[in-house]
Structures are given as structure tokens and as C-alpha cells.
């Protein structure tokens, strides 16, 4: 077992898949000799060379367009878009080209494309770099959207995404990049897309959390256990397709549900989970589904301001107490 950071788990996943399949390549801004803007491609350029680890101009539309064309011809590109906030620059290529190509051509073309991107909530870098916009892409048919919260999940899901024949949006949380977890270097880790993970078993409240919020929910669980409130923490890992079966089964046991997210409440991931539970588990609910999210306002600049706005363990604890009442 080796203690790996989230960032190194990402690098290992790409290296292993590039060694396994010569059609896999990586493109993006500064992914080459520099090793990535956040160090998430360190060493790959030296091992695989400039044809398979390729720097690009600063044009998200061109980068994703290049990858869509390459995927249509049988390659398996991995694209790095530095921040998810920049998806506005390439959303046509993602939502109208990559997502629809298989459908438009009646299955003639596959689209084995992975777009890695970063959410920088609580990193203090302002309104153009810190938004959690998974709802943008989760709404589009034809896209798979992943958001792992641990190094092992990140490695296993990225390897599965690279092998998938459909376009996958792979969302990394920068605040988790230095998180460590023991990983067996000799183990082939492949985590299925669309399967949630129960991070903590409980009996009183089902808490569905994504990304950084998974760890805050687990911190809250420790506090609440001292008060006799036992929460079950579920990490969907996959935003789309959503494993609502696992979530609904948990609610049938706990009879209460809360969704904790870095994204805004209106029209967001939490709203989707709440709506699904109303359809699937309404008669098991003893209280309305609660959503714990930042307020509906642009992200401020500075870590202190961001932490003031975003859910933390204390707010999750307070929400759980209200829900038990």
C-alpha cells in the first residue's frame, strides 16, 4: 500500500491507461513539460513524449473540438480544461457535438472522450474560477458526469472513464488535490460509473454529498454521533447517471434526507435529488428533503469570504438538528 494524494491518483490513472492503450493521449494548456497548471500531469510528457502529451493554445473551444474529431477517428483523448468556469467557452463542442455525435450518426461514431476539469470552491480565487457548475453538463443527454471525492475513487473512476466509449466530464475538486489515501499500486482499480458509495452507515438521516462536501458531512457525522444522531453519508460519485436506487434505499431506512452541495440551490444537483426522492420515496419521508448549499450569489474573492458562504460541518450539524425536530 502506498499513500497517494488525489492529484497523484489522477496521474497514475492516466499513466496506466496510456501504457495499456496507445490510442490514449492527453491535451490541454500546460499539460506537457510543465506538468499541468496544478501538477496533475507531472512526468507524463517525459514518459510518453510530445505527441501523446500535447500542449495547446489557450482556446478551450479548439482543444475540445480537436478531441471530438480525434475521438471520432478511434483515438481516446483526455482533455484538461483548467477550470470548469471556462466551459462557457467550449460548451457548444461539449453539449452539441460530443454529446450528440453517437445519436446523430445512428451509432456510426463512438465518442471515447474524457474532459477533466477543476472546481476551485474554497480556494479563494474569485468569481471566474470557483463555480461548481456540474448542473450545466448533468442536464445534457449523452454526457456522463463524474465527481469523485477520494484518491481511490478518482483513480478508479478516471480509468473507467478513459475506457468508456461515451463522452465523460470528470470533475476534480482542487481543495482535495492534496488529500491522501492508501492505494495498492499492484491493484487494478476500476470503479463502475453510475454506482454510489455509502461512506458512512447510519440510521437517522441520509446525507447525500458531493466532492469536498463529502468530507464535511463526515466531520458533521462525528459531532452528531455524540448527540445520538446517526447520519448515513452517501457519495453519488457520478452526477449523471445518478444512482438514485442506493439513495432511495437509504431513505427508506432513515426516513429523512439532506443534500449538501457546493453548487447553488436553484436548479442544482440538490434539487434533482430532492425531486427524485419525492417520486421514489415520498411515503418513507418524515420531513421534507433539506438542501444545504451556498447562497445564490456570485463567488467572492478570498478564502475567508468563500468559507463564510459555503456549507461546513457546523452548518450541516445545525441542519441535521432541525431535520430531526
What per-residue confidence (pLDDT) applies to 305?
80
* Domain ranges within the chain, ordered by starting residue: 2-183, 197-324
Residues 230-275: tens digit of each pLDDT = 999 999 999 999 999 999 999 999 999 999 999 999 999 999 999 9
pTM: 0.96
Residues 187-225: tens digit of each pLDDT = 899 999 999 999 999 999 999 999 999 999 999 999 999
Q: What are the catalytic residues?
A: 129
Query: If pLDDT is split at 50, 70 and 90, which confidence band does 36 have?
Result: very high
SS3 at position 172:
strand
Query: If pLDDT is split at 50, 70 and 90, which confidence band does 53 have?
Result: very high
Check if 2-183 and 197-324 are the same fold: yes
pLDDT at 122 over 80: no
For 197-324, CATH number out of 3.40.50.2300, 3.60.21.10, 3.40.50.920, 3.40.640.10 equals 3.40.50.920
Candidates 183, 51, 69, 67; CA nearest to 116 is 67
SS3 at position 113:
coil
Task: Classify domain 2-183 by CATH number.
Answer: 3.40.50.970
**CB atoms near residue 322 (< 10 Å):** 11
Amino acid at each position: 500500500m502506498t499513500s497517494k494524494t488525489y492529484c497523484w491518483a489522477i496521474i497514475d490513472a492516466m499513466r496506466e491507461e496510456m501504457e495499456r492503450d496507445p490510442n490514449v493521449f492527453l491535451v490541454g494548456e500546460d499539460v506537457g513539460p510543465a506538468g499541468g497548471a496544478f501538477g496533475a500531469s507531472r512526468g507524463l510528457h517525459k514518459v510518453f513524449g510530445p505527441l501523446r502529451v500535447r500542449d495547446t493554445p489557450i482556446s478551450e473551444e479548439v482543444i475540445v473540438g480537436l478531441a471530438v474529431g480525434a475521438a471520432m477517428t478511434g483515438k481516446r483523448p483526455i482533455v484538461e480544461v483548467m477550470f470548469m468556469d471556462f466551459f462557457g467557452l467550449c460548451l457548444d463542442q461539449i453539449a452539441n457535438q460530443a454529446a450528440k455525435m453517437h445519436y446523430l450518426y445512428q451509432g456510426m461514431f463512438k465518442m471515447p472522450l474524457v474532459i477533466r476539469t477543476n472546481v476551485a470552491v474554497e480556494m479563494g480565487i474569485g468569481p471566474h474560477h470557483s463555480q461548481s457548475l456540474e448542473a450545466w453538463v448533468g442536464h445534457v443527454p449523452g454526457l456522463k458526469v463524474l465527481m469523485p471525492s477520494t484518491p481511490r475513487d478518482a483513480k478508479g473512476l478516471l480509468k473507467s472513464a478513459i475506457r468508456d466509449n461515451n463522452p465523460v466530464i470528470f470533475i476534480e475538486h482542487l481543495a482535495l488535490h492534496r488529500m491522501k489515501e492508501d492505494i495498492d499500486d499492484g491493484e487494478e482499480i476500476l470503479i463502475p460509473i453510475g454506482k454510489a458509495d455509502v461512506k458512512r452507515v447510519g440510521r437517522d438521516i441520509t446525507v447525500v454529498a458531493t466532492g469536498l462536501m463529502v468530507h464535511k458531512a463526515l466531520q458533521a457525522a462525528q459531532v452528531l454521533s455524540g448527540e445520538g444522531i446517526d447520519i448515513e453519508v452517501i457519495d453519488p460519485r457520478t452526477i449523471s447517471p445518478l444512482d438514485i436506487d442506493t439513495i432511495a434505499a437509504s431513505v427508506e431506512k432513515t426516513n429523512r434526507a439532506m443534500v449538501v452541495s457546493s453548487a447553488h440551490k436553484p436548479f442544482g444537483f440538490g434539487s434533482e435529488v430532492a425531486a427524485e426522492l419525492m417520486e421514489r420515496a415520498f411515503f418513507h419521508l418524515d420531513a421534507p428533503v433539506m438542501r444545504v448549499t451556498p447562497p445564490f450569489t456570485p463567488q467572492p474573492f478570498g478564502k475567508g469570504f468563500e468559507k463564510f458562504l459555503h456549507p461546513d460541518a457546523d452548518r450541516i450539524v445545525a441542519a441535521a438538528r432541525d431535520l430531526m425536530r
